[in-house]
């Protein structure tokens, strides 16, 4: 009989020639169970999505409750839907006053696309600036901003007039001028392998944007929702962007993203032309109900303090002669090894031992560790022990 795995290869479009192809049975908390009954600790949270763990009971309950009331009713922006309104209001209450208007979308790339269109409309300019080794999504606008030629080249032509700046290089900020509509930046570069901004780089960037009239867009698709030990990474650096892009952890496991700005800037999207940016499913009520439960849970407890303590524990336990460098912010960890071959070997051994880790798109010699924020100290110690064991292989 043909197996699920064979059908997967045959009929589900593939993204690489070597899919991991775990056959998933169920997932709960930090764990994923495959159809053979094997248990894996998910140390990457489905790539920074399951910040509350898989199937958090309150998120699941919120989804079920909403499903019983209504699912899709009409394209986003026409009807008053309480899951959207509640979530937008709660977000506005935890964000600076200038980030009070939430445009809901389905994904990170869509948040970036919307932010780019908004910046064009607000400034009347066409040029964008982004950073080397930045990842902002796979759609063509977001791809145009990507700081890696190898992934971009096969898809040319992309958007013209994109400046590519070096992260943490103040000199490059001079390239931003009054022609620049917006600068898009991950405050901590994720796919580059957890590259932290040096000293006041983000402040200098914000100053240059203010001086030239370029908008500052923060891509917090990966760093948002508590991942770095603050609700949003910009809180670490004392810089408030003009537009904030979110997704991944926002939906608590459901597809949800947003770009957020001031009501004044956001109003540009509702006129000249009207309906200049619309989406059928963005802000889906079931996803927003999940998102509202997610944000309430993150805000209710002491989660951010705990993340900071857990960060220290990882840094303490991950010591081995093969580890060349470790870059950490909250529960976003990059463990740099000698080269990709060694990293891949260790990653494969970890997976074999029931621990899911990965590498970074633009830093293949570094191991990605980004567990659910609810991971316990015992689970951290156990997972670090497995990694250290696998480093000895
Ligand atoms: N921005 C960043 C920083 C990301 O890490 C990602 C996804 N890895 C995206 C944007 C794109 O998000 P999505 O895959 O939901 O389109």
What pairs with residue 164 in β-bridges?
130
Residue 92 CA to ligand 1 center (angstroms) comes to 22
Residue 221, ligand 1, Cβ within 6 A: yes
DSSP notation for 179-204 = TEEEEEE-SSBTTTTSBPPPTTHHHH
Domain boundaries, the chain: 4-55+302-391, 58-300
> Which CATH architecture group holds 4-55+302-391?
Alpha-Beta Complex (3.90)
| CB-ligand 1 contact for 243 (6 Å cutoff) | no
The pair of three-digit structure tokens given for residue 315, joined into one six-digit string: 């840094």
186-211 mean pLDDT = 98
pLDDT in tens, 210-258: 999 999 999 999 999 999 999 999 999 999 999 999 999 999 999 999 9
**pLDDT for residue 393 is more than 90:** no
Ligand 1 atom 7, closest CA: 137
pLDDT in tens, 130-144: 999 999 999 999 999
Residue 118 sits at φ, ψ, to 5 deg, of: -60, -45
DSSP, collapsed to helix, strand or coil, labels residue 241 as coil
Q: How confident is the model at residue 301 (pLDDT cuts 50, 70, 90)?
A: confident
Q: Is the CB of 219 under 6 A from ligand 1?
A: yes
**Cα-to-centroid distance, 217 and ligand 1 (Å):** 14
How many Å lie between the centroid of ligand 1 and the Cα of residue 2?
34
Q: Mean of the per-residue pLDDT values for the chain?
A: 97
CATH number of 58-300: 3.40.640.10
Mean pLDDT on 197-216:
97
């Amino acid at each position: 009989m043909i197996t699920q795995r064979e059908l997967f290869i045959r009929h589900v479009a593939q993204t690489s020639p070597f899919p991991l192809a775990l056959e998933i049975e169920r997932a709960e908390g930090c764990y994923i169970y495959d159809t053979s009954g094997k248990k894996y600790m998910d140390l990457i949270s489905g790539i920074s999505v399951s910040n509350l763990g898989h199937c958090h009971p309150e998120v699941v309950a919120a989804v079920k409750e909403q499903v019983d009331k209504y699912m899709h009713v009409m394209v986003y922006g026409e009807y008053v839907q309480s899951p959207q309104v509640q979530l937008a209001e709660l977000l506005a209450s935890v964000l600076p006053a200038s980030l009070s208007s939430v445009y809901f979308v389905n994904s990170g790339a869509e948040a970036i696309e919307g932010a780019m269109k908004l910046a064009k409309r607000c400034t009347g300019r066409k040029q964008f600036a982004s950073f080397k080794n930045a990842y902002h999504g796979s759609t063509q606008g977001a791809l145009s901003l990507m700081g890696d030629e190898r992934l971009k080249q096969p898809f040319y032509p992309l958007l013209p007039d994109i400046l590519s700046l070096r992260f943490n290089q103040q000199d490059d900020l001079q390239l931003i001028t009054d022609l620049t509509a917006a600068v898009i930046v991950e405050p901590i570069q994720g796919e580059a392998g957890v590259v932290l901004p040096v000293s006041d780089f983000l402040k200098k960037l914000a100053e240059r944007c203010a001086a030239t009239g370029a908008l500052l867009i923060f891509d917090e698709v990966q760093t948002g929702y508590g991942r770095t030990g603050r609700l949003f990474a910009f809180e670490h650096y004392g810089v408030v962007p003009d537009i904030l892009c979110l997704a991944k952890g926002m939906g608590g496991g459901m597809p949800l993203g947003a770009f957020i700005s001031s009501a004044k800037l956001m109003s540009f999207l509702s006129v000249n032309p009207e309906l200049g940016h619309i989406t059928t499913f963005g802000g889906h009520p079931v996803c927003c109900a999940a998102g509202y439960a997610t944000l309430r849970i993150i805000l209710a407890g002491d989660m951010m303090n705990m993340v900071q303590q857990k960060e220290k524990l990882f840094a303490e336990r991950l010591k081995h002669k093969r580890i060349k460098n470790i870059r950490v912010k909250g529960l976003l960890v990059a463990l740099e090894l000698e080269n990709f071959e060694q990293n891949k070997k260790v990653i494969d051994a970890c997976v074999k031992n029931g621990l899911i880790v990965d590498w970074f798109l633009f830093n293949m010699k570094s191991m990605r560790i980004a567990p659910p924020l609810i991971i316990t100290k015992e689970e951290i110690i156990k997972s670090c022990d497995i990694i250290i064991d696998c480093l000895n292989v």
